[in-house]
Amino acid sequence: MFFLPLTNICVLLVCGQVVKQNRIVGGADASLNAWPWQASLQYQGKHVCGATLINSELILTAAHCFPKNAVLSNYQANLGNYQLLNPDPNAVWRRLSQVAVHENYTGDGSSGDIALAQLEQPVHFTQGILPACLPDAKTQFPKGSLCWVTGWGSPTYGANLGGLKTLQQVQLPLIDTMTCDDLFHIGTNISPTTREIQDDMFCAGYAEGKKDACLGDSGGPLVCQADGAWFVAGIVSWGDLCGLSNRPGVYTRVSFYQDWIQSHFSGVQFGLMNVTGKGNMEEPPYSSHIELSSTFLDSIWLALL
């Protein structure tokens, strides 16, 4: 255990931990409280993207979830919910106070599909609301690693998630960048020398397709477990429809953006860990309080209108 004194109070620091461990392989309903960092990013009261809680005041999501014509005051984050149409009594909704969209993002399929949003008020951690760990810049999850994607997205392309809109989960293997890039060239006229999958991306899924993230999962987490903790390794970014053969889902590589994430805050720990080596993770921290740096305030903010 690792304790950090804050104004004479010792706070237990932990990230990537869950109470519920039941999981179903193959794309199905998740278990209650199985993924406590999962957030629903909503616009005008409707779910538009997933997001990941990384400490009590910040969520991580995709840049494409904040189009240029969007109004920040119309956004809210819903945490601690399992069924969107059957809200949990302990679920919370928070407006967003500020959003930083990566400056390299230019549109669908581009690099830089990552964004940070600050909640207007911090959340209190419960069994259903806990942060995921962030991998550090050196972290590499090996190809073939089985990780999990969660969200309230479409079960298939063009179909809506029905019923009470229960959180979905699917387990997918990681695919190395160059193998995935080769897959995305199959059946196209794109030059083999033109890269579709950039260094800040990776893929997960199967060459034969079928299991995949889909519309509405965008911005949500792909998490991998290492040394007893769950790390948000990827952000659901883009794909060619959903579940097609030779077109696995593409994810923003979170570890690639460690410096960008850290540069926006002063003296904050997010549970950054290097999990490339073996051994137990002895100090999995999160920060229960943050202070915004001037760099963060000077970044590309969506204007609060």
pLDDT the model gives residue 91: 96
Q: Is 245 left (phi over 0), alpha (psi -120 to 50) or beta?
A: beta
Residue 255 known to be catalytic: no
pLDDT the model gives residue 164: 75
Q: Taking 70 as the threshold, does the pLDDT of residue 197 lie above it? A: yes
Can you tell me the distance from the alpha carbon of 215 to that of 166, in angstroms, rounded to the nearest whole number? 15
Q: Taking 90 as the threshold, does the pLDDT of residue 200 lie above it? A: yes
Specify whether domain 28-264 bears CATH 3.10.20.30. no
Q: Which of 40, 47, 111, 113 is catalytic?
A: 113
pLDDT the model gives residue 294: 32
The reported pTM is 0.80
Q: Which of 111, 218, 237, 288 is catalytic?
A: 218
Compute the average pLDDT of residues 180-198: 77
The answer to whether 65 and 96 are in contact (CB under 8 A) is no
Residue 218 known to be catalytic: yes
Taking alpha carbons only, the member of 96, 104, 103, 90 closest to residue 49 is 96
Q: Chain-wide mean pLDDT for the chain?
A: 77
Residues whose CB falls within 8 Å of the CB of residue 8, separated by 6 or more in sequence, listed in order: none
Can you tell me the distance from the alpha carbon of 296 to that of 119, in angstroms, rounded to the nearest whole number? 14
Can you tell me the distance from the alpha carbon of 188 to that of 202, in angstroms, rounded to the nearest whole number? 20
Q: Which of 64, 237, 240, 288 is catalytic?
A: 64
Q: Over pLDDT 70: what percentage of the chain?
A: 69
Sequence letter at residue 112: G
